[in-house]
A and B are shown apart, each in its own frame.
Chain A
Amino acid sequence: MPGWERLRRHHGVRAGVICVLAGLTAVACGPVISAAPKPRSPEKIYASTCGYCHGQHVAPVIRGRALPPEAIVQFVRTGPAAMPAFRQTEISDTELTALARWINISKADPKEHEQ
């Protein structure tokens, strides 16, 4: 189905404003879309952050190398050389602990590539 036709049909069956923050009078209609954070899984953090560079022709492959978790934590918090640093507000300490452990024991992904 062409995208524009699909868009028209979509509009025909859905409510307009999907959801809003409670208390926002201008468009109030329901609960918040993205709820208060609960720890994300290491897989999700890796896929939505680390994996865009590491193993994607940009930064070194880090899976399957048994990198020590404490070093991974330092990398993430300090951002050495060309790597950005990630703050506690972006990746919580709890999430980072689990992520570092996951990377430490993860197997290499043959689809990943170095720069």
Chain B
Amino acid sequence: MSGFSRRDLIRTGAAGAAAFAAGANASPLDSARMLPARLDKEAFAAVVAELRAVVGADWVFADADSTLPYLKSFTPDPRHEHVPSGAVAPASVEEVQAVLKVANKYKLPLWTVSTGKNMGYGCATPASSGQMILDLKRMNKIIALDADLGTALVEPGVTYQDMHDYLVEHDLPYWIDVPTVGPIVSPLGNTLERGVGYTPYGDHFFMQCGMEVVLADGTIVRTGMGSVKNSTTWQAFKWGYGPYVDGIFTQSNFGVVTKLGFWLMPKPPAFKPFMVRHGEMADVAKIVEAMRPFRMSNLIPNVVLMMGAAYQLAMFHRREEIWDKPESVPDTVIRDFAKTKGLGMWNTYFALYGTDEIIAAVEPIVRRAFEASGGEVLTEKEMGGNLWFEHHKNLMSGQMTLEEKGIMRWRGGGMCCFAPVAPAKGAETSQQTELAQQILGKYGLDYSVAYAIGGRELHHLIFILYDKSNPDEEKKADDCIREMITRFGERGWASYRTGVNTMDLVAQQYGEANRDLNARIKQALDPNHILSPGKQGIR
């Protein structure tokens, strides 16, 4: 939408909103909508008819209006390469099997999503245009929750909000571990993408236990102990017997995962959140060096977020409040504004969990280390009520929040994430920060980042925030992330995950042998290549 912002529109009230609605009706799929690669119009019409016979007419979306929500993406797509042909939404495993049968018959490519809110990586849009979205949101049952073992088994459409509500309603003493978009995304989808949260259970795939997969030919496979007749340990023991296969169904297109088991964290008697404030961009190395021993020893047990000031400010502020020029906001401007909000250039959030006695014993140890690194160690006593501190306190205790979605408003609704992995070494982390700032600066983009600190590595989550309503800006963002992937790759730093627009590019960095292995598995399990072609570069 051009000429006025949505904020302006809403402020104008009813008249403005009506004007927007009329404009939205005028655009969408007519020019950009595409058919599946191997289907003509007649074949596509036949597919739609057969799919409607499977799931009901209401749950196949193949016209311009009903397909609209599936087009939404924050990532750049300047060449319109990620436009779906439609969507089909089965409500059961049996319907998934029947849909796959139709897809095999017509060679229909199906792009599988659970809740379709993979925000920084393409939402529900496919890796290539013409794919039909296999939307599993209607499969939304919490199938089992073991109150003794703290395990859950869920379908794809269950959200973290659903899990949270269930635990509250039944007064169960467990926490969930949420990504930053918890209320509207699913544990199944986030785990399959190998996403993270911010409690001690933050490595979601590590906490996953058992899955049910529908293969392309309709075969149902339960992994781990789930294949044993009368098994009572499906969600209790991850590894099963023989080759461990769960991993090949994550970040892949080898099957449709219809159930996922995972573990819940026992609610600790005591929890204490901390923030360490550092004042300079160059402090990144000191923070990583101070943090590493605590994460390796698990003395600090949660996935720690080291938040850059520009990212933090973007959550609740707009760029024009701080800077009115097209080039990147200077560090000094960010630093000065952040200071007025109680923030440093780096704000590192961790928590201690356990009993009051455990926390009292550990706190002085970590406090000394971070103070020696030049940081100010702050708690609720100093930071209670601060918007950012409260947000991270919520994340580190598994509470629902969408506040980080505010970053999309920084520069007009565009956002994509470049997520290289860094070793937990200060010097190398510092080099990544310098390289990222150099490339972003070339494009006039801001260094809006979060480092998520695991045991021995960091996910360097670099959010490219741009104005998606401006085609020039969209192209610039696309060029920028490609240059970042390429130049980081030259240094040996590759992404752990990427958006639909760059899946091939990243796959190339993992080498031909890796790609060939994936291709061989794909050919064996999905010979018609109907499942999410292009996912992670696998066709």
Q: Which of A65-115 contact B (CB under 8 A)?
A: 65-68, 70-75, 77-90, 115
What separation, in Å, do the CA atoms of A63 and B72 have in the docked complex?
A: 24
Once A21-B143, A71-B17, A85-B72 are accepted as A-B contacts, the answer to whether A7 and B234 lie under 8 Å apart by CB is no
- The interface residues of chain B lying within 8 Å CB-to-CB of A74 are 20-21, 24-25
Once A82-B405, A87-B116 are accepted as A-B contacts, the answer to whether A26 and B234 lie under 8 Å apart by CB is yes
Q: Are A32 and B141 in contact (CB under 8 A)?
A: yes
Q: Are A34 and B158 in contact (CB under 8 A)?
A: yes
* Chain B residue at minimal CB-CB distance from A30: B144
Q: Are B138 and A89 in contact (CB under 8 A)?
A: yes
Q: Are A3 and B266 in contact (CB under 8 A)?
A: yes
Q: Flag whether B427 is at the interface (Cβ < 8 A).
A: no
What separation, in Å, do the CA atoms of A85 and B68 have in the docked complex?
A: 8
What separation, in Å, do the CA atoms of A28 and B142 have in the docked complex?
A: 13
What separation, in Å, do the CA atoms of A103 and B290 have in the docked complex?
A: 49
Can you list, as one digit per residue, whether each of A10-28 has a CB less than 8 Å from chain B (1) or not (0)?
A: 1100111111110011110
Q: Are A48 and B158 in contact (CB under 8 A)?
A: no
Q: Are A89 and B141 in contact (CB under 8 A)?
A: no
Cβ contact of B17, chosen from A6, A68, A78, cutoff 8 A? A68
- The interface residues of chain A lying within 8 Å CB-to-CB of B21 are 68, 70-71, 73-74
Q: Flag whether B413 is at the interface (Cβ < 8 A).
A: yes
What separation, in Å, do the CA atoms of A84 and B172 have in the docked complex?
A: 31
Can you list, as one digit per residue, whether each of B134-152 has a CB less than 8 Å from chain A (1) or not (0)?
A: 0101101111111111000
- The interface residues of chain A lying within 8 Å CB-to-CB of B14 are 65-68, 71
Q: Shortest CB–CB separation between residue A25 and chain B, in angstroms?
A: 7
Cβ contact of B89, chosen from A3, A65, A89, cutoff 8 A? A89
* Chain A residue at minimal CB-CB distance from B116: A87
Q: Are A4 and B266 in contact (CB under 8 A)?
A: yes
- The interface residues of chain A lying within 8 Å CB-to-CB of B25 are 74
- The interface residues of chain B lying within 8 Å CB-to-CB of A87 are 69-70, 87, 116, 124, 135, 137
Q: Which of A30-65 contact B (CB under 8 A)?
A: 32-34, 37, 48-49, 52-53, 56-62, 65
Cβ contact of B69, chosen from A26, A65, A88, cutoff 8 A? A88
* Chain B residue at minimal CB-CB distance from A57: B316
- The interface residues of chain A lying within 8 Å CB-to-CB of B267 are 3, 7
Interface 9-residue window, one of B279-287, B395-403, B416-424, B495-503:
B395-403
What separation, in Å, do the CA atoms of A92 and B209 have in the docked complex?
A: 32
What separation, in Å, do the CA atoms of A3 and B162 have in the docked complex?
A: 22
Q: Are A26 and B17 in contact (CB under 8 A)?
A: no
- The interface residues of chain B lying within 8 Å CB-to-CB of A82 are 6, 74, 405-406, 408-409, 412-413
Once A26-B231, A53-B405, A89-B135 are accepted as A-B contacts, the answer to whether A78 and B173 lie under 8 Å apart by CB is no
Once A11-B147, A14-B147 are accepted as A-B contacts, the answer to whether A81 and B6 lie under 8 Å apart by CB is yes
Q: Which of B326-381 contact A (CB under 8 A)?
A: 355
Q: Which of B389-444 contact A (CB under 8 A)?
A: 400-403, 405-406, 408-409, 412-413
Q: Are A58 and B315 in contact (CB under 8 A)?
A: yes
What separation, in Å, do the CA atoms of A72 and B10 have in the docked complex?
A: 10
What separation, in Å, do the CA atoms of A73 and B25 have in the docked complex?
A: 11
Cβ contact of A21, chosen from B137, B141, B165, B468, cutoff 8 A? B141
Once A4-B268, A74-B24 are accepted as A-B contacts, the answer to whether A81 and B409 lie under 8 Å apart by CB is yes
What separation, in Å, do the CA atoms of A66 and B11 have in the docked complex?
A: 11
- The interface residues of chain A lying within 8 Å CB-to-CB of B1 are 80-81
Cβ contact of B140, chosen from A5, A37, A80, cutoff 8 A? A37
Taking beta carbons and an 8 Å cutoff, which residues of B are in contact with A?
A: 1, 5-7, 10-11, 13-14, 17-18, 20-21, 24-25, 28, 58-59, 61, 66, 68-72, 74, 87, 89, 115-117, 119, 123-124, 135, 137-138, 140-149, 153, 157-158, 161-162, 165-166, 170, 172-173, 183-184, 222, 225-226, 228-232, 234-235, 266-269, 315-318, 355, 387, 400-403, 405-406, 408-409, 412-413, 468-469
Can you give 16 A-B contacts (C-beta < 8 A)?
A: A3-B268, A7-B266, A10-B173, A11-B148, A17-B147, A26-B222, A27-B234, A27-B235, A33-B145, A65-B14, A77-B69, A80-B6, A85-B70, A85-B123, A86-B69, A88-B61
If A26-B231, A33-B143, A71-B17 are given as contacts, then 10 extra A-B residue pairs at C-beta distance below 8 Å, sorted by A number, are A18-B147, A27-B232, A56-B402, A66-B13, A70-B18, A74-B20, A82-B6, A82-B409, A83-B413, A87-B124
